[in-house]
Amino acid sequence: MPVLLLRRDAPLNDAERARLPAGATSVNEPGGVIARLTVDGETSRVISAAVALARAVPDADFVVRVPATEASVSGVAGAQGVAAVVSDAPAQAEVAGEEAPAEAAEQDFVDPWVALDRGERDRAMRRFAAVPLTADGRERVRRMVLSANPVEVTDALRIARVTDFKSFFSNARRVSDHSDPAVRAEAAMAIGSLAGFSQLTLLEKMQKDPDATVREAAKQAIQLINTRRG
């Protein structure tokens, strides 16, 4: 039976306890576990319970623990609720009546924005790629690309690319001549992923960039577009 958990450094307050869905309990367990809900039933019921639990405490990390014989259910907690999917890979869990170590027994599906704010960029991008970008998320990405910090601009371009935010290619064009070569390289990859053959002229120009990383990114971007064209 899947066990849904919420994790956070701070315990639940009275308002959050009142919002917990039926069957969920407020706890104070090692690892920052603040709420627990055991779900018995079809996958759709598990997903519904996960959505309700995550929405009750939107700033907590959502974790699911499932027996190894069952499919794993993954989700992202946070202000936008949970985007839940079913995985074909079984999760590691309790064996022979003994609980496995937490890092093996649980799968931590943190909000990608939380991971990004923590500096866990690769983890954040994996999560962004797994769930649709919300309207609020798209607006945040648009703000990020205007930042004076090249790291934020690069993050915005990567998020747009992995979430297939196609209309963002115009923003990528605007930063294609950025002073930071990392931004130019990511802009090239975003254009290649999101735009069509009309952008080949720009990418061919970027192949003459003084930075080798940018030239290689532009080459890969052109290949992406040509592959889609057949």
172-219, pLDDT tens digit by residue?
999 999 999 999 999 999 999 999 899 999 999 999 999 999 999 999
In a domain, 21, yes or no: yes
10 and 91 share one domain: yes
In a domain, 118, yes or no: no
Alpha helices (H) in the chain, listed in sequence order: 14-19, 43-56, 102-105, 112-117, 121-130, 135-144, 150-162, 169-174, 181-194, 200-206, 212-229
In a domain, 122, yes or no: no
Say whether pLDDT at 90 is over 60: no
Say whether pLDDT at 108 is over 90: no
208 and 139 share one domain: yes
What pLDDT shows up at residue 84? 37
Q: pLDDT tens digits, residue range 26-82?
A: 988 877 888 888 887 666 777 777 788 878 888 788 777 765 544 444 444 443 334
Tell me the pLDDT of the chain averaged across its residues.
Answer: 79
pTM: 0.57
What pLDDT shows up at residue 96? 30
Cα(first)–Cα(last) distance of the chain, in Å? 47
In a domain, 164, yes or no: yes
The percent of residues above 70 in pLDDT, for the chain, comes to 78
173 and 103 share one domain: no
Q: Residue 78 corresponds to which tokens in the numbers above?
A: 């946070």
> How many domains does the chain contain in total?
2
As a whole number of angstroms, the distance between CA 118 and CA 57 comes to: 19
Domain containing residue 8: 3-110
88 and 175 share one domain: no
136 and 221 share one domain: yes
35 and 68 share one domain: yes
As a whole number of angstroms, the distance between CA 52 and CA 180 comes to: 43
Contact 202, 170 (CB under 8 A): no
Which of these three, 79, 110, 141, is where a domain ends? 110
Say whether pLDDT at 101 is over 70: no
